Chain A
Amino acid sequence: MIELRDVRKAFNQGQHNEYWALSGISLAIEAKQVTALRGPSGSGKTTLLTLIGCLARPTSGRVTLHGRDISGLPERFLTEIRRKTFGFVFQQFNLIKGLSAIENVMLPAYPTGRPHQELKRNAEALLEQLQLGHRRDARAEWLSGGEQQRVAIARALINDPEVLIADEPTANLDTALAKEFMAILESFGAEGRTVILTSHDPLVTESAVVARLVDMRDGKLVKS
């Protein structure tokens, strides 16, 4: 589904502080399974995730989605692919403060121009599915860590994306909440959703729901 060929990514290229976060990654990610990128801090997991999720372009190499090269597309097209194909759950959840849970969930769908009522119904259904229906009107900053993450997951799913991308999903959760997340992840696995996540938490990487584990170190793949 997603293929990376000799992908390299540099930051501050040409400057004294030039840094290569990825050095020649070639990887194929299958659809309808959970893939985890594992590695220590600074191994390039998050950078790789941003390239897969069309949040950034590689410095060199190719990224293809369903056989279509997306690595050189202009920002506008990348945004459209990102909106339609990917849903993101960030490490810090990145909910917008001051907005209610349901407003946060609806945000990614605003640029699609879907009718408001339909959007609201979908958002409510997602919150219900994640057992957060009773917190729909609570402001983001009033939610607990676990609740914030579930709102972030609902937000990632509002445009019904093919791929869910999660960056260190359990990094800010205690064990009980991390287990709750794993239960959600299992349900996604059972539904046959494509999930790509980064983690160095054994609770995630050693879970049976993870179909494929990709190890990384110093911007390179260790084993695939």
Chain B
Amino acid sequence: MNSWIERQRHLIDFTLASLLRRKGRNLGLLTVYTLLVFVLASAMLYTHALRREATTILEGAPEIVLQRLVAGRHDLIPPGYVERIGRMRGVQEIRGRLWGYYYDSVVKANYTFMVPADGSVARGTIVVGPALARQRGLDPNTGISFRSYSGELFSFSVAAVLPQSSELASADLILINEDDFRAFFAYPSGHTTDIALSVANPAEVRNIAIKLSKLLPDSRPILREEMQRTYASLFDWREGIMLALLSASILAFAILAWEKASGLSADEKREIGILKAIGWETGDVIRMKLWEGGLISLTAFLLGFVGAYIHVFKFGAPLFAPVLKGWAVLYPHFTLMPVVDGLQLATLFFFTVFPYMAAVLVPIWRAAVTDPDAVMRS
């Protein structure tokens, strides 16, 4: 056992010396390899974290949202709709919601105004999202005025700023009192934007949606799981677009790695011949080259992945965020929860380390099985 360990130690020593002897070539390869893993891992980690964030946020959303449609467009819910739904088996709570969009010409951004269900915001005050607070320089107890669509100026005092943890969803959010909301948007009394329904049993959600469609044919039920799916496919699509854009560089790396790993130089072939002639077995030569390939690919994988982790979770992925996060004037400024998906990690490992090792192994095996007497004739 000790002799086996010593043998591996010698092989690693020789491998490290070999790597250092071809410093330029190996450093170049390591840099490109690391960059590739970094880019792929950044895209994967960021998209996965965004998907996770969206899912976490939607967990607090109602199971069904009912919207009324007029000529295929979203319209206000007139009074009496909540009552028409009445008591439905499986539905825990039904409530009309009030929300709308507002364009702020000062910062050229859209805000979402919303009336909280618990009515916790007092008249004349608002609670603002963190991105908006940053953009407009708002703190609790400062004031702000908005000109309504009718041209009238409304002034509010900021009661609080929403916590940073919810920023992905609340960056541009303004929570407002119901009366202020109706006055500001000239919203007809008794009308609501949509209806939110809470359903305890997930198996019942689809049945309830079918019942709602029959009961209110002019309305459209939107399920939470559909929203989750939409978000997931949106981020998947963005990731796909990015990977497609990167495919050229991935291909370039694949060609470079294949060329570097599989093309044995005359010097390397000569070295293999010498090693075999002085008593190294074919297996020793292959093991040594595997250590070499393994050291390069694992170092690149670790450096690239750790770099991507820091890039995404420490610095918020400045290189890819504009593409992956989506367009908005008020970019949410949030810190993603660090999550690493084991399967994703394994996939990345498989598609970066494995092909490289294969590219290393094939030509070495071919060179290592040649007769050692060739070195006598060189």
Contacts and interface: CB of A to CB of B under 8 A. Distances in A.
A49 interface: yes
A110 to B, nearest CB: 4
Interface centre among A56, A79, A114 (most CB of B within 10 A): A79
A188 interface: no
A67 B241 CA distance: 72
B373 A99 contact: no
B6 A114 contact: yes
Contacts of B17: 98-99, 103
B107 to A, nearest CB: 62
Interface stretch (B65-73, B196-204, B274-282, B331-339): B274-282
A202 interface: no
B121 interface: no
A64 to B, nearest CB: 19
- The range of chain B's interface size is 35 or more
A179 interface: no
Contacts, number: 93
Given A50-B373, A56-B371, A90 B284 contact: no
B144 to A, nearest CB: 70
Contacts of B270: 94
Interface of A, secondary structure class, is: helix
A201 to B, nearest CB: 18
Interface string A17-50: 0000000000000000000000000000010011
Interface string B339-378: 0000000000000000000000000000000011101111
Contacts of B371: 55-56
A113 B279 contact: no
B21 interface: yes
B375 A159 contact: no
B271 interface: yes
A96 B7 contact: no
A111 interface: yes
Contacts of A108: 278-280
Contacts of B18: 98
Contacts of A111: 7, 10, 279-281, 284
Given A75-B282, A79-B280, A110-B280, A94 B274 contact: yes
B253 interface: no
B14 interface: yes
Given A94-B378, A167-B376, A116 B6 contact: yes
A121 interface: no
Contacts of A110: 7, 10-11, 14, 280, 284
A97 B281 contact: no
Interface in A74-119: 75-76, 79-80, 82-83, 88, 90-92, 94, 96-99, 103, 106-116
Interface in B258-273: 267, 270-271
22 contacts: A46-B376, A50-B373, A50-B376, A55-B376, A76-B281, A76-B282, A79-B279, A79-B372, A82-B277, A82-B279, A90-B277, A92-B378, A94-B274, A97-B21, A98-B20, A98-B21, A103-B17, A106-B10, A111-B279, A113-B4, A113-B10, A167-B376
Interface of A: 46, 49-50, 55-56, 75-76, 79-80, 82-83, 88, 90-92, 94, 96-99, 103, 106-116, 155, 159, 167
Given A82-B277, A98-B21, 8 more contacts: A55-B372, A56-B373, A76-B282, A90-B277, A110-B7, A110-B14, A110-B280, A113-B5
